[in-house]
Amino acid sequence: MIELDVTNLIRELGGRYGIRLDTSDPAIAIVVLNRLVLEKSSEELTESVARRLAQFEASVQKVEQRAGKLLAQQVSEAAARIRAELQNDIDAASVKAAHLVYMVDRAHQRPVITRWLAAGLLSAIALLAVGLCAGMWLR
């Protein structure tokens, strides 16, 4: 703190208010004692504020660590839910794709079966015609 200039204080009291004091006056001793008490209280308050500030900073660090752990846990849970949803979507798409492949295969089998039936029917008619012709010719 700023040093108290007692002689300047005595001169100022005399000039402003007309009060005459000297350096050994009890009123000056009370002022100096008050100044010392104020300085001591100020130092104690400063130390107390510094301790509280350090405690507050430690508490903030603990809160940050807890918040970080909680955030990491929530992110992990969210990622697990997203993976599960993606797997469900993949499974559903797989079932749909298998059904579409089956439907395409069935659609392609119909013309093939129809062609083979037509070819077989024509072959049977041709064989019947050959047999009838051969029977008539051999008769």
* pLDDT tens-place string over residues 82-92: 999 999 999 99
Domain boundaries, the chain: 6-138
DSSP assignment of the chain equals -PPP-HHHHHHHHHHHH-----TT-HHHHHHHHHHHHHHHHHHHHHHHHHHHHHHHHHHHHHHHHHHHHHHHHHHHHHHHHHHHHHHHHHHHHHHHHHHHHHHHHHHHHHHHHHHHHHHHHHHHHHHHHHHHHHHHHH-
* pLDDT tens-place string over residues 74-113: 999 999 999 999 999 999 999 999 999 988 888 777 777 8
Global confidence as pTM: 0.47
The arithmetic mean of pLDDT across residues 49-61, rounded, is 95
Q: Which residue has the higher pLDDT, 126 or 22?
A: 126
Grade residue 56 by pLDDT with cuts at 50, 70 and 90.
Answer: very high
